[in-house]
Each structure stands twice: as C-alpha cells, then as structure tokens.
A and B are shown apart, each in its own frame.
Chain A
Amino acid sequence: MTDILIKAGFLFISLMVILNYSLVLIGTMARIRAKVQGRIGQPFYQPYIDIIKSNAKRTTISHGVMFYLGPVFRLAGGLGTYMFIPAIYGSVIFSNLAFSGDLLLVMYFIFFGQLGMALGAGESGHPHSPLGVARGLAQMTAFELPFALAVISIAAQFHTLSITEIVAQQQGGWQHWVAFTNPLAMAAGMLAFLGMSMNNPFSVVIAPQEIPIGPPTEYQGSFLGMLQTNRAIFNGAKMVLFMNLFWGGAAHEILLVAILIMVLKTFLIYLYVTIVGASFPRFRTEQSIRFFLGVPTLLGLAAVILQML
C-alpha cells in the first residue's frame, strides 16, 4: 500500500512538472509566433488564464453522456500516454508507469484520448466536429506510416521496444543519439511529428483561426478547461516521447540538471514545429496525406531497409 501511495506521489510530481512546463511552453511559443507575424502577442502565462477562466464558468451545456465523457477520455488519454513514457532516464520519480508496457503500448494509447474525444464531439451534433475529426483521422493515417517506419527502424536497430532501453542505448554522448546513428529514421519521425502537432502546414484539422472546427467546437466551460489542460500534458508527452526516441532522452545524476536537459530538448523540438508552422501556409487534407506518404514515407522505408541489410 505504501508503495502504491509513494508511486502515486511520484506520478503527481511528474505530472505537475510536465503540466506547468508545457503550459509555459505553449504560451511562449504563441508569443514567438506572434513576434514572427509582427504582433505583440499574448503573455506567456495566457494558457493559465484560459484554463482558470474556463473552469470558473458557472454553467456548462452538455449534449449527452458521451459528450460529457469526451473531455474525460481526452484528458485520460493525455495523462495515460505521459504515464506510460519514462520522462527522465534513471529517475525513479520520472520513470512513471513505464513498466506497464513498451513503445507499442504508448503508440496505441495515444489513440485512446483521441477516440474518446472524437466520440464526445460527435455527440454534440455539430457537423463541424466530425468534419474536423474526419480530417484529423485521415491525416493521422498518413503521418502514422512514416512514424511507424521510424519506430520499426529504431526497434530493429536496438532490438528492443522498451523506451527505457532505447534511451539507455543512446547514452554516452550525442554521437549515440538516434538522430545521428539513424538519421533517416529521425528525419521520418520528425516530419511525422509535424503532422502530429497539428501546426501549420497541417492545421486544417482544427483550422484555429477562422471557423472553429474539430472536437472543441461545441465545448465550453470546464469541458473546455479539461481540453486545454490536456493539450498541455499531451503535447508534453509527445515531445518527451520524441526526445526519448531520437534525441537521447534526458539523463543526469542530478535530477534538476536532467529536468533542465529535458526542458531544453523539448523546447527545441517545439521550436522546430513552430518555425515550420510560421514559415509555411496550410495544406488541404488530401495534400497533407500525399505529403506524408511521399518523402517522409520514403525516408522511413529507407531507414527500415538500411536496418534489414
């Protein structure tokens, strides 16, 4: 019992760190994007304000049970995904629940929240919600292929699917990182990450600026608050995953340094997404499908075939 309580405590710490860091990161990136576009932009703590405001609404409108549960599914998906990933190599506190399953579990658990959310949004009855979901899913199948190939290439390279083990194999200097030992897999994976982040040029899924489409269309109040919380955690989880897979993970004897390494690496990963997003206009859905099944998939294939030879 004590073990479980301690584990729960560790999980709480781990979650709080990633939540707060991600919220700050999202705010910062929004500000950076604004600067690029010549605007002043929001303060870096704007995401906090949003979440507090949403949760403080005194009324909510629900379209049904599934609608009600949608954000719960979504947040559960984000939390779960993060919890199955070891955030910092060698740290007991940040190893989370990684013993439950390996990379395959994480890859499939990502869908848990998305599916639940999509179902909840579907029950809203608003046609724009499923429209966004259809686009998102279609795009997902496309970037999933290069991503899967990259993962397969890494699994073939290290003969393991355990994320902890993959990070362990990359220790001992930057030259051991997958990014340098298996650059093709890294390229395929990082291109796929652009789609996964749903930033420009792959943002038609949510089309955030003009007409709101996608799951959040009908959500408000504390429902929306949960979605916003999840956005932070889920983003954090994905970045930590990619850091672990391609960029050597975060490891140091001193936990604080390790956390700083994580912060730096994930910041750069997100910065890359933001730079691409600020530089390119938006694709239509079928264009992004064609894009992902083109060069990124070829890179992934090359990465896999190199491992087979």
Chain B
Amino acid sequence: MARRSHRLPWAAVGVLLVAALLLTGCSGAALTPSSWPGVAVDEGTAYVASNQAVYAIDLANGAERWRFPAEPDRAIAFYAPPLVTDDGLIILGGFNNTVYAIHASDGRQAWTFADAKDRYVGGASQAGELILVPSSDHTLYALQRASGALVWAFETGAPLWAAPLVDGEVVYLPSQDHTLYALEGRTGKLLWSEDLGGALSDTPVLAGGLLLAGTFGQGLISLDPRTGAPEWAVTTGGWVWGNPAVDDAAAYFGDLSGAGRAVSLQDGSDLWSYQAGGDLVASPALGESSVYFATAAGVVQARSTADGAPLWEVTMAGPVNTDPLLTGDRLLVAVAGGDVLLAALDPATGATRWTFAPAK
C-alpha cells in the first residue's frame, strides 16, 4: 500500500502569508506611530509623552530625570499632552483607555481611571479640584484631582481629541462632532452649543473678548463666549487643525494647505500670510516679536509678527506636528518618528541648545 504524504503544500501557506502581509501592510498602520508627541512644561522640567513612555526632561540641559513607566509596557501608548497640576501631578490619558496621574517629582503613579471605552488623544485640563479628560469615546470625564474618582461625564456625538478650555466657571469643549460646547464646570451642565460646520481638533482660545476655534470646515471662527453666537470667520484653503496663537491685535494660525497667516482680532481681516511649504498641523508659538510655525515636513520657521517677514528656519529630522513651546529662552520642538524626540532651540537664531533622544 502506498504511503500517503501529509506534508503541507507550502505554496498555499506561502500565498496566505503573503496575502496577510500585504493586507496588513496596505493599511500603512503597521509601522506608523498613531500620533505625535505631547509636551508640557513646568518651571524646570519638560514632560514629553511619546509612544510607550512619558519622559521628564531637565530644561537646563536635556537630561532625562525619570520616565513612566520605568520599564516599557507594550500595552500602553501615550500621545496626549501631559497636564501639570497645581499640586505637582502629571495627568494624561493613554491609548489603553486609561488616565494616569503621576507624581511630577519622581514619576511614581498616584492613581488611574479606566472607565473610558476608547483611547485618549487630547490632553486634560484642570478646573479647580476637577480634572477634565476628553476621550475618543465621545465623553468628557470630570475626575477628582486627588483620587481620580468620577464626578460627572458629558457625552458628545464624536471623539474628543482636544483639551477643553477652562475660563472661571465655564468649560469650552471642542468636539469632532463639529460642535463647540459650553458647560458649567462644577456640574457638566450644558450652557450652550454651536455647530461650527467642521470637526474641532484643538483647544479654543479666548482673546479680546472672543472665543477662537479652528475647524476642518470653515477655517477659523470667532464666537461670543457668553452665547456661542458667531462673530466672524476666516475661510482657509485647508483644515485648521491647531488653535491660533494670539496677542493684543492679531491671531496667528496655519492650515493643512500650508498657509501660515495673521488676521486681525477685530474682524478677521488678513494682516499677512505666507506659504510654509508643508502641512501646518501644530499651533504656532508666539514670542515678543516673532511667531514660530512648524510643518509636518519638519521645518520650524520664525516669522516677524509685524509683517510675516522670515527670520530663520531649521529642518528637524522628522515631522513636527506637536505645538512648539516657548519657555524662557528656549523654543521646545518635539519631533515625531526620529531618534531625537525633543530639541531646545534658541528662539532668536534657531540654533540648537540641546536635544533629547530617549535611551533605548
């Protein structure tokens, strides 16, 4: 009797494996980080959330003070900008649907909150004794600062990717459901809401008695903070992802068509504009007489606030979609997907003061 072969037909197995690789590879999701770093600072330390850790970095020299968690945990990924609270806690949500409170002094965990059903992309805000954390599960969670216990929750119609703006007793919540909500901070009760015609992915700004919000639909919109009634709008050629930087007279912002611009706070009229040569996702940082834009192509550009004249530009080793931060005499720039995670630049010249690359 002939012996029957039970060997696997490797050609068939090979076809399946190639199909699997192609299918997962086609999404482009396998190798690309899900978001870009989140950055916050206090007096002497920068806190950077990027992928599997939150790093505390000495602002004087770029040295690492601590990281959380101390050992990498593949189940956790952080991209939300950390919140530094009055009482020395660092609070941020992760892609594992959990909010972490960490002691700013040494990186020890204080508490966690794990009730959300989806990931955290946006940063948290502090409203007195409450911590407000926006989740991709459409809900804003108000937690007790000391314990992380849930106080109230407010649900919207789409993911929340940006920290709410707290102004006294009122909380302004931007949602991807195209709506800006005004809530009573203590209870989460809705005061008013306004459909802005496009998704909102960054925190609105209060300036000159106006509330300014960037949208994916109609560009930059200004509203009356008491009622939500629109005042003026600036139509843009691309989505406005970041929020504007504002001074007494102007709002500075960029859009995904690569246009960086300054508009009058009074009526939204154009003051100046320029082409950055790449998507402007990050909100610009504002200095005394300069405004700093960063492009998704990794170019940081300093422009004069008066007329938009170029001052300097430097190219980083990866995309810069995180808002640059001006702190003292340093411009902090977080880079996505490169070896260097954070660079401190001289705001006057763009020269590098120090860089931080996490030890592996």
A binds B: no
Residues of B within 8 A of A (CB): none
